[in-house]
Copies of this chain bind each other. A is one copy, B any other.
């Protein structure tokens, strides 16, 4: 592979939308890899994927696939993680899991490196990668919390279909074409592949992401609420979320209202703190019509923040607009950054020479 010295890395779910992004991100960021093992279900096994100029054949995952693996990156759905993550850990691998299977397990660190890389030190083999909408929000909120404190967050999301997988992207494109041609197209995937009803996403907005829980919130909304508290280490932080799916291919946007811990902070102070904060790009010049948008954030690594305004009634209230690529910082990039943090903190086996 690319390096003669490095780690044996496995990617579980290598043929999926996020799996593909993980492989590209490992290559792009030159992660020290001695051996790359690509795994999938029986259905996708046998496919070929290129990495650093070589062609790797995807193998069907079995427990023994993880023998000798140092770091295993999982993004093949919660049930696959439930089945294989502990098998991988048993064989000495550290698992970084992109599903919601272990996120709220108190023994599993839930990590966004810009916010809580230190939590990695307590890992017991499995580390969880948060929900895409949560990651981009906490990257923007953490520098604010550090500087001014944080009491309350009310977020409304504007989420892209790629968060629901490749089939949802295809549905948006095909349905858009059909509607523009005045043809019928029966919705089959969105809002949720496994739910009872499906609705038109093209030229529409659907206020449902994931299924509903008993309290009237969706699982996506509860993920944002609970994961934000866990990552920021603030169990008493007030967080509320409304999650909405848009006819956008890639790039989640968020309209966020916050109340901070100080009453004398200005918009300029807020911009100073965000400008240059880890993982953040400030895009906020109203007079120049400069603000973040999903079509422009897609393919980029940073979390983009703009439209920062002081609330007109609450002295400690601010509004902002946060946009990021949900497949990169929202998934693949954060996963690889967790692996990089493990290396930096000396939490992985020493890198080996390839034999």
Q: Which residues of chain A have a CB within 8 Å of any CB of chain B?
A: 152, 154, 156, 158, 172-173, 176-177, 180, 191, 195-197, 199-200, 203-208, 212, 215-217, 225, 238-240, 242, 244, 246-249, 253, 255, 257, 267, 286-289, 291-295, 306-314, 317, 319, 321
CB-CB < 8 A to A247: which residues of B?
203, 246-248
A288 — which chain B residues lie within 8 A by C-beta? 197
A143 to B37, CA, bound (A): 60
Knowing A158-B244, A216-B309 touch, does A203 contact B293 (C-beta < 8 A)? no
Known pairs A294-B205, A295-B204; A286 contacts B255 (CB<8 A):
no
| Cβ contacts under 8 Å, A158 to chain B | 158, 205, 244, 246
Instruction: State the Cβ distance, A240 to closest chain B Cβ, in Å.
Output: 5
Q: Which B residues are in CB contact (< 8 Å) with A295?
A: 199-200, 203-204
- Nearest residue in B to A252 (C-beta to C-beta)? B205
Q: Report if A154-B257 is in contact (Cβ < 8 Å); known contacts: A205-B248, A248-B203.
A: yes
- The docked-state distance in angstroms from the alpha carbon of A176 to that of B311 is 35
How far does the Cβ of A231 sit from chain B's closest Cβ, in whole Å?
17
**Contact among B207, B215, B306 with A307 in the assembled complex (CB-CB below 8 Å):** B207
Contact A216 B293 (CB under 8 A): no
A225 surroundings in chain B (CB, below 8 A): 312
Q: CA of A205 to CA of B307 in the docked complex: distance in angstroms?
A: 13
Interface centre among A152, A255, A321 (most CB of B within 10 A): A255
Interchain CB contact (< 8 A) of A207 among B180, B242, B293, B312: B293
**In the assembled complex, how far is the CB of residue A10 from the closest CB belonging to chain B, in whole angstroms?**
34
User: Is A195 a contact partner of B289 (Cβ separation < 8 A)?
Assistant: yes
CB pair B240 A313 closer than 8 Å: yes
Contacts A154-B154, A180-B177, A309-B216 given; indicate if A205 touches B293 (C-beta within 8 A): yes
Chain B, Cβ-Cβ closest to A287: B212
Contact yes or no, A312 B249, CB < 8 A: no
Which residues of B sit under 8 angstroms from A244, Cβ to Cβ? Answer: 158, 253, 255, 321
Please tell me if the beta carbons of A313 and B238 are within 8 angstroms of each other in the complex: yes
| Contact of A205 with B253 at beta-carbon distance under 8 Å, contacts A289-B191, A295-B200, A308-B216 already known | yes
Q: Is A240 touching B208 in the complex (CB atoms < 8 A)? A: no
By a CB distance below 8 angstroms, the chain B residues around A249 are 203
Report yes or no: A267 in contact with B216, Cβ–Cβ below 8 A: yes
In the bound assembly, the distance between CA atoms of A74 and B199 in angstroms comes to: 37
